[in-house]
Chain A
Amino acid sequence: MNKRILILTLLILSIKVSVLSQDTTSLTAILGTDAPAREYVTSAFKSTRVINGQSMEFLRPGTMDFRILHRFGDLSNGVKNFFGLDEASMRMGFDFGLKRNLMAGVGRSTLKKELDGYVKYAPLSQSTGAGASPLTIALVAGITVNTLSRNDTAAKPEFRSRLAYYYQAIFGRKFSNALTLQVTPTLVHTNLTPAQQPTDRYAIGLGGRLKFSKRMALTVDYFYRLNGRGANTYDPLSVGVDIETGGHVFQLHFSNATGMNERAYINETFQSWGKTEIRFGFNLSRVFQLRKKTQN
Chain B
Amino acid sequence: MNYLVLQILLLITTGLQAPEKFFTKTGTIRFDATANASLEKVSAINRSVSAVFDSKSGQLLFVVQMKGFEFEKALMQEHFNENYIESDKYPKADFKGQITNFADLDLGKDGTSRVSVKGTLTLHGQSRTVDAAGTLELQNGHILLHSVFNIKLKDYSISIPGLVADKIAKSAAVTVDCTLDPFITH
Q: Enumerate chain A interface residues (CB-CB to B < 8 A).
A: 1, 4-5, 8-9, 12-13, 15-16, 19-20, 24, 26-28, 30-31, 39, 42-43, 60-63, 97, 177, 214-215, 245-247, 287, 289, 292-296
Contacts and interface: CB of A to CB of B under 8 A. Distances in A.
Contacts of A39: 67
Nearest to B89: A177
B161 interface: yes
Given A27-B59, A43-B78, A289-B74, A12 B52 contact: no
A15 B14 CA distance: 8
Interface in B30-58: 30, 32, 41, 43-45, 50, 52, 54, 56-57
Contact of B72 (A19, A247, A294): A294
Interface string B1-28: 0110011001100100100110101000
Given A1-B3, A9-B6, A246-B163, A30 B63 contact: no
B10 A12 contact: yes
B103 interface: no
Contacts of A43: 78, 82
Interface string B66-86: 010011111101110111000
B54 to A, nearest CB: 6
B104 interface: no
Given A12-B11, A43-B78, 12 more contacts: A9-B6, A12-B14, A20-B20, A27-B59, A31-B25, A39-B67, A60-B74, A97-B74, A215-B83, A289-B74, A294-B71, A296-B41
A63 B30 contact: no
5 closest cross-chain pairs (CB), A and B: A60-B74, A5-B3, A289-B73, A12-B10, A27-B52
Interface residues of B, number: 46
Contacts of B57: 24
B78 A31 contact: no
Contacts of A19: 17, 185
Contacts of A16: 14, 17
12 contacts: A1-B3, A13-B10, A31-B63, A42-B81, A43-B82, A60-B75, A214-B161, A287-B75, A289-B72, A293-B70, A293-B72, A294-B45
Contacts of A61: 74
A265 to B, nearest CB: 27
B79 A30 contact: no
B158 to A, nearest CB: 12
A30 B43 CA distance: 30
B52 A31 contact: yes
Contacts of A15: 14
Given A293-B74, A296-B30, A296-B44, A215 B161 contact: yes
B61 interface: yes
Given A8-B3, A294-B70, A296-B43, A24 B78 contact: no
Nearest to A97: B74
Given A16-B17, A39-B67, A27 B83 contact: no
Given A42-B82, A289-B72, A20 B56 contact: yes
